[in-house]
Amino acid sequence: MTTAAPMSAENRAKFACAYAGAVWGVFWLPLRALNEAGIAGAWATAVFYIIPLIIILPIVFMRWRKLLSGGWRLHLIGMVSALSLVLYSDALIYTEVIRGMLLYYMTPVWSTLLARIWLKEPITAARIVSIILGFSGMLVIFGIDLGVPWPRNVGDWMGLGAGLVWAVAAVLMRKDNEAVAMDYSLVYFIWGSVAAVVIALMSFSGGHSAPSLDAVASTLPWLIPILLVVIIPSAFAVFWGTPLLNPGIVGILFMTEISVGTITAAIWAGEPFGLREISGVVLISMAGLTEVIVAPLLRRRLLDRA
């Protein structure tokens, strides 16, 4: 009786990043609930960083020496990754969701190019096919008739900037061989809280005032379980998986957000889910499968031939 070979660390990292993308696909649900509770605009994003930071403070105190010894490199990665995802969350608030996603998901292109320039990692045929499939699926879902979403407001620029900044963060993590996922996650929530509050306080925060303590407290019975079971583990998955993968692959795998978001919006928000949406989800899934299954098989075949 033969046993299945254990999954490689690279494939586990791919599934971790795909899982994190899927979690982002349902992120709109608690954001909408926060808005209904009176926590609106960028303050909703701030709550999604501050409350997790409070929850993980005991771990921060336990690992404070590690966080200090990580030096500027660890905190630079924390700041860059946090800025990216805070900008992306706020982009979905300050512009149309479709435009924010389209502009952010230029990140597979930025990541692939930066990995080629900084890390000298090759741009493979499988990567090009994955990017084409992913973009095709995204355009099918969102409607090709929208044309090129050139930035036209602050939310658009946030979405575009978030994708580019994430590409930089992914490359920095790929180059760093010293920190561990736990420390990445901790500094991410620390600097994410800072970035989220600063953006919420800035003049383009949509006129939303800081939420009252009562409003925040009223959300804790359902928010804390979501943070503990979904949000915090997905952050750990991102920071464990990303350093093990080419940054371009990470960007493609994150596109599971679009598929999951489309399906959950159809189930809980009554959004349309017909042939166009199904076709887009299939194309995006094929993009991920190309990297998870096809690319490793091609590499193995080339090695066998050699």
Note whether residue 170 is domain-resident: yes
Please give the pLDDT value at position 302.
Answer: 63
Kindly state whether residue 20 falls inside one of the protein's structural domains: yes
Q: Does residue 285 sit within a domain?
A: yes
Q: Which domain holds residue 21?
A: 9-305
Domain count, the chain: 1
Does residue 13 contact residue 245 with C-beta atoms inside 8 Å? yes
Counted residue by residue, the chain has a size of 306
Model pLDDT, residue 247? 94
List the pLDDT tens digit at each of the 306 positions of the chain.
Answer: 434 445 688 889 999 999 999 999 898 889 888 988 989 888 999 999 999 999 999 999 999 999 998 889 999 999 999 999 999 998 888 887 777 888 899 999 999 999 999 999 989 888 899 999 998 898 888 776 656 667 888 888 999 999 999 999 999 999 887 778 999 999 999 999 999 999 998 855 556 788 899 999 999 999 999 999 999 999 999 999 999 999 999 999 999 998 998 898 888 878 788 888 899 999 999 998 887 777 677 667 766 666
- pLDDT given at position 299: 67
Are 296 and 11 a contacting pair, CB within 8 Å? yes
In a domain, 4, yes or no: no
- 281: CB partners within 8 A, 6+ apart: 137, 141, 259, 262, 263
The pair of structure tokens assigned to 81 is 């990754």
CB 221 within 8 A of CB 111: no
Helices (H), the chain: 9-24, 28-36, 42-62, 64-69, 71-94, 97-104, 107-119, 125-142, 154-175, 181-201, 213-226, 232-241, 247-253, 256-268, 275-289, 295-305
pTM: 0.89
Question: Quick one: pLDDT at residue 109?
Answer: 92
Q: What is the identity of the amino acid at 86? A: V
CA distance 245 to 115: 10
Residue 1 lies in a domain: no
Q: How far apart are CA 270 and CA 272, in angstroms?
A: 6
2 belongs to a structural domain:
no
Label residue 130 exposed, middle or buried (CB < 10 Å: 0-12, 13-18, 19+): buried
Quote the pLDDT of residue 146.
Answer: 56
- Whole-number pLDDT of residue 149: 65
As a whole number of angstroms, the distance between CA 3 and CA 62 comes to: 40
Tokens at 211, concatenated? 């939420």
In a domain, 41, yes or no: yes
